[in-house]
Chain A
Amino acid sequence: MTYQADEKGYYGEFGGAYIPEMLYPNVEELRQQYIQIMQEESFQKEFKDLLKDYVGRPTPLYFASRLSEKYNTKIYLKREDLCHTGAHKINNTIGQILMAKRLGKNRVIAETGAGQHGVATATVCALMGIECIVYMGEIDIDRQAPNVARMKMLGATVIPAKSGSRTLKDATNEAIRDWINNPVDTHYIIGSVVGPHPYPDMVARFQSVISEEIKSQLLEKEGREAPDYVVACVGGGSNAAGIYYHYLDNPEVGIIAVEAAGKGVLTGESAATSALGKEGIIHGSKTLLMQSPDGQITEPYSISAGLDYPGIGPMHANLFRSGRAEFISITDADAMKAGQELAKLEGIIPAIETSHALAIFEDRKFKKDDIVVLNLSGRGDKDLSTYIEYFNL
């Protein structure tokens, strides 16, 4: 029994590639080659060198002593917020830009919600001198102006997605349409463990550096490779896939996934997909998604743009359905409180996405000697205006 993807990209009953024929040649080319390319020695060397010298890896595994004291357990924070560009997203974009180069592509497209993945993509495209087009919902462009400016400064073209609800879901649709219109020279860098096979597996492999590092870091600090729990927030679920990856098939490690409850799971303004979603197809993947009884995809809501997605990656859908992972949903208010608390107790201002994961300690109790590793997936700089408004700072 494994919780990894099988050869056809299925995690249990979830995953696969439900794509229009127009996308088939591109997706098939990638599917046939991604594992082979990733295993090439030259690829591995270039990937690892860039992660070390450009991204700043390994990121620290930090023992949060005051937070641990408050919640009477042992909490380690995996400091992905210290990566270049401020979040784990760049692990994947470095991997995928090297993949694009080896596939001979000279044009890159991406979707972005809050702009973090867009910035990480624009960054690696600048680094490699490759044309970069980022699709972003018109509404998100308005509310994330600093990230739009960053992408432009990095040389990317930002195209507003004006269809549907004009947010992340629609930006993804537009990126897919661009790929249909440009089937030969373009690589699509998806930002999360979503989309048709092989994307969920490929992105998870690039993010798996997170748990790979934790194994050796924890061995050094605690004399063991495996913690009792790994915790991460889940929107699409790429930072979660990264911290779970090497522990998925180790039943002694508890997996905790934290979703955004928005204003409350039952308020109609929520992004808690495991609680509200049903099996269906979104962006080429069979997974759990929020939809009307008629199969129309509905709009999620969360204060955090990175968790504001109506589906979850197929890996996580399977972890939920099989009972392998424990799913917890956290409201806007509890997340904001936890973000404030981390700032005051540990001197770290987290991204609001990450604040959701931090908020579980209020109700979810752990034993005193449990080792809990939480993925501090991003820093809060991008969220300052939301924090300022919320707390009247």
Chain B
Amino acid sequence: MNRIKSKLQESKKLLSIYFTAGYPQIDDTVSIIEDLEKNGVDMIEIGLPFSDPLADGPTIQESSTKALKNGMTTEKLFQQLKDIRKTVKIPLIIMGYFNPMLQYGVEEFCKKCEEIGIDGLIIPDLPVDVYSEKYQAIFEKHKLINVFLITPQTSEERIGFIDSVSNGFIYMVSSASVTGATSGFGTETKDYFKRISKMNLKNPQIVGFGISDKQSFKEATEYSNGAIIGSAYIKHLTKNGVGKNSNFVKTIR
């Protein structure tokens, strides 16, 4: 069974961490992943950096720019991850924008992911309709789970469509914002979490955007299966470098 699916069956609130590959240093990728797993993180999103990350706020943008300056490329990331499954057991997801994957070749990209043991992809600018029309068959052939986003503005009808195309979990964006823009959730956001929870979707939901500490993690996971932390972790890396992950994970749970 796909590692994401079996992880989602565990009866705990999943903590998922995003980091940008190639940041702070080009060769930090493997040690960041191993260290996060050691500290009890349930799932990791490996960010493939892009020059023009439309859905990201300043923190992730800056880490992407730095990673590209450090020399990160798609091929380089695949090389770094080549032996990752010898040491790491938790689900690994690559998160990136569509253009670098398109240039690598979607089929080739998916094939490489399968060889390495990547379990899923999150591609914010690949819309669900284009995916289901053109790419779903390729993803499925290579046993990759594709994760789609929903927001407080997504209509129930569209959430239904996204649920029907999804086969892992739904990435529930906490508020109308780019990454790293907010902290803490108001009544409106909590109502949205409740509303989605009541829809009884086939796929579990994991919340992302705006989670940075124990309090926001607790709130985000009250009505969902887990939460993703990105910008707050990048800030931690910027300040402390790699190897101090235990401090970070402890502050969350």
Residues of A within 8 A of B (CB): 16-22, 24-25, 163-164, 169-170, 173, 176-177, 180-184, 278-284, 291, 293-297
Residues of B within 8 A of A (CB): 50-55, 57-58, 61-62, 65, 68, 73-75, 97-104, 124-128, 130, 148-151, 153-155, 158, 173, 176-178, 181
In the complex, residue of chain A having the shortest beta-carbon distance to the beta carbon of B150 = A21
Of B55, B65, B155, the contact of A20 (CB 8 Å cutoff): B55
Report A-chain residues with C-beta under 8 Å of the C-beta of B68: 296
Q: Determine whether the beta carbon of B99 is less than 8 Å from that of A19.
A: no
Complex Cα distance A291/B100, Å?
10
30 A-B pairs with CB atoms under 8 Å apart are A16-B130, A18-B125, A21-B128, A22-B151, A22-B153, A22-B173, A24-B153, A24-B158, A25-B155, A163-B58, A163-B61, A163-B62, A164-B52, A164-B61, A169-B52, A173-B52, A173-B53, A177-B55, A177-B57, A180-B55, A180-B176, A181-B177, A181-B178, A183-B151, A183-B153, A280-B99, A281-B97, A283-B52, A295-B50, A295-B74
Q: Determine whether the beta carbon of B99 is less than 8 Å from that of A21.
A: no
Q: A22-B173, A181-B181, A183-B176 are in contact. Are A296 and B100 (CB under 8 A)?
A: yes
List 14 additional contacts besides A19-B125, A21-B151; criterion CB under 8 Å: A22-B149, A24-B154, A163-B58, A163-B62, A164-B51, A169-B52, A177-B55, A180-B55, A181-B181, A278-B103, A282-B99, A295-B100, A295-B103, A296-B68
Q: A21-B124, A25-B153, A281-B102 are in contact. Are A294 and B73 (CB under 8 A)?
A: yes
Report B-chain residues with C-beta under 8 Å of the C-beta of A169: 52
Q: Determine whether the beta carbon of A21 is less than 8 Å from that of B149.
A: yes
Complex Cα distance A295/B155, Å?
32
Report B-chain residues with C-beta under 8 Å of the C-beta of A176: 54
Complex Cα distance A18/B150, Å?
15
Complex Cα distance A280/B125, Å?
12
Q: Determine whether the beta carbon of A180 is less than 8 Å from that of B177.
A: yes
Q: Determine whether the beta carbon of A18 is less than 8 Å from that of B98.
A: yes
Complex Cα distance A24/B52, Å?
18
Report B-chain residues with C-beta under 8 Å of the C-beta of A295: 50, 74, 99-104
Complex Cα distance A168/B151, Å?
28
Report B-chain residues with C-beta under 8 Å of the C-beta of A24: 127, 153-154, 158
Report A-chain residues with C-beta under 8 Å of the C-beta of B54: 20, 173, 176-177, 180, 283-284
Complex Cα distance A116/B158, Å?
38
In the complex, residue of chain A having the shortest beta-carbon distance to the beta carbon of B54 = A176
Report B-chain residues with C-beta under 8 Å of the C-beta of A282: 52, 99
Complex Cα distance A284/B130, Å?
12
Report A-chain residues with C-beta under 8 Å of the C-beta of B52: 164, 169-170, 173, 282-283, 297
Report A-chain residues with C-beta under 8 Å of the C-beta of B148: 21
Which are the 4 A-B pairs with shortest beta-carbon distances? Answer: A295-B103, A295-B100, A21-B149, A296-B51
Q: Determine whether the beta carbon of B127 is less than 8 Å from that of A281.
A: no
In the complex, residue of chain A having the shortest beta-carbon distance to the beta carbon of B72 = A294
Report A-chain residues with C-beta under 8 Å of the C-beta of B126: 18
Q: Determine whether the beta carbon of B177 is less than 8 Å from that of A281.
A: no
Complex Cα distance A180/B158, Å?
18
Of A21, A164, A170, A278, the contact of B173 (CB 8 Å cutoff): A21
Complex Cα distance A173/B61, Å?
11
